[in-house]
């Protein structure tokens, strides 16, 4: 069975990489409400891979340019553009922009201005992972300093952001990762980011977990990016009336919840998708600006850094795609454009 899963993974990897071509395209003429952008850097996120595989809720008409996130510099603006000028740094206002390219002309409303004093890799990875972490920590439970959060996939981009944003707010984190050969190095890296505890999925089922909650309260919030057994075991440590938020399903297995968790502990299960949040707040620019300002302020203060990254020239995109789909990935592939 393991061999079949491995072969299926290899087939999916080959198909994903084979679908892409590096191609020269003519840059469209600049319209009055358009912005000519030179892309600087763009990451490869799991959602990008899902879109390529056709398993994501947003699918761009083909042929399409990949990439939902990244940062670019404005080269020129149309006569009707007032909020942006040449030299500004911009990121996508929503998913589906197609950021894996060197230059493009976008309508002004599809872009958000970001401070140019934010480090390049932070700006390139700003609109998805840190914003997802920020919203989940803010929107589901009223957390106060001293409260705790438990999360799986803690070494993911979102997981790393959760650790840092929580630490800046005085919130304790219990971080679950898969066992691996380099586990001590991973634990050391997450602890350096501000993690309070790092445990493996297997440790969730052991009595030693009780020792952790002698020094910190049981979590009121659980963040799930995996599914399957990891989620079920993590849920057992949640406080009564606590909330588990699912924002990913890396194990490709359903979320299994004991009936007793609902009846006797009244836990709440919620879902979160950053793209939907942006759609829901499309007319609420105050909320969007407030979130971006808060995240950028943490970056400037040194309390939030970019996830561990590997910088790859655009012409080496095949190697970057392959690396992003390997198991136990702890470094995000960033295309330099």
The residues annotated as belonging to the active site are 56
> 337 and 42 in contact (C-beta within 8 Å)?
yes
- The backbone torsions φ and ψ at residue 105, rounded to the nearest 5 degrees and listed phi first, read -115, 120
Task: Please give the DSSP secondary-structure letter assigned to residue 132.
Answer: H
Output the CA angle 154-201-320, nearest 5 degrees. Answer: 45
Cα separation of 324 and 277, whole Å? 26
Please measure the distance between the N-terminal and C-terminal CA atoms of the chain and give it in whole angstroms.
Answer: 40
> 336 and 311 in contact (C-beta within 8 Å)?
yes
Burial of 275 (C-beta count, 10 Å sphere; 0-12/13-18/19+): middle
Which residues lie across from 211 on neighbouring strands? Answer: none
Which residue in 135, 236, 151, 231 sits closest to 193, CA to CA? 151
| DSSP code string of 75-99 | EEE-TT--S--TT-EEEESSS----
Q: How many CB atoms lie within 10 A of CB 39?
A: 24
* Distance (Å) of CA 168 to CA 14, 119, 146, 305, 308: 41, 19, 12, 12, 19
Q: How many CB atoms lie within 10 A of CB 231?
A: 25
């Amino acid at each position: 069975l393991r061999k079949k899963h491995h072969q299926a993974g290899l087939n999916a990897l080959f198909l994903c990489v084979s679908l892409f071509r590096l191609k020269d395209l003519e840059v469209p003429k600049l319209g009055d409400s358009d912005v000519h952008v030179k892309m600087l850097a763009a990451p490869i996120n799991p959602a990008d891979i899902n879109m390529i595989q056709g398993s994501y809720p947003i699918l761009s008409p083909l042929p399409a340019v990949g990439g939902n996130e990244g940062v670019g510099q404005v080269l020129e603006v149309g006569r009707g553009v007032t909020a942006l000028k040449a030299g500004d740094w911009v990121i996508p206002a929503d998913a589906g922009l197609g950021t894996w390219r060197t230059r493009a002309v976008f309508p002004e409303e599809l872009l958000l201005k970001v401070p140019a004093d934010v480090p390049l890799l932070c700006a390139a990875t700003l609109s998805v992972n840190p914003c997802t972490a920020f919203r989940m920590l803010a929107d589901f439970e009223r957390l106060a300093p001293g409260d705790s959060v438990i999360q799986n996939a803690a070494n993911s981009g979102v997981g790393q952001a959760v650790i840092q944003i929580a630490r800046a707010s005085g919130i304790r984190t219990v971080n679950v990762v898969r066992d691996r050969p380099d586990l001590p190095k991973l634990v050391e890296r997450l602890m350096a980011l501000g993690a309070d505890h790092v445990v493996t999925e297997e440790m969730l089922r052991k009595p030693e977990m009780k020792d952790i909650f002698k020094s910190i309260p049981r979590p009121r919030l659980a963040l799930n990016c995996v599914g399957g057994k990891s989620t079920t075991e993590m849920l057992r440590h949640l406080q009564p009336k606590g909330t588990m938020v699912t924002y990913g399903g890396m194990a490709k297995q359903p979320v299994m919840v004991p009936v007793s968790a609902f009846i006797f502990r009244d836990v709440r299960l919620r879902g979160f998708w950053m793209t939907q949040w942006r759609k829901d707040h499309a007319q609420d620019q105050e909320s969007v600006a407030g979130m971006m300002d808060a995240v950028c302020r943490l970056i400037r203060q040194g309390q939030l850094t970019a996830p561990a990254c590997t910088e790859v020239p655009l012409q080496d995109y095949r190697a970057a795609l392959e690396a992003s789909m390997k198991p136990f990935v702890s470094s995000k592939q960033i295309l330099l454009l």
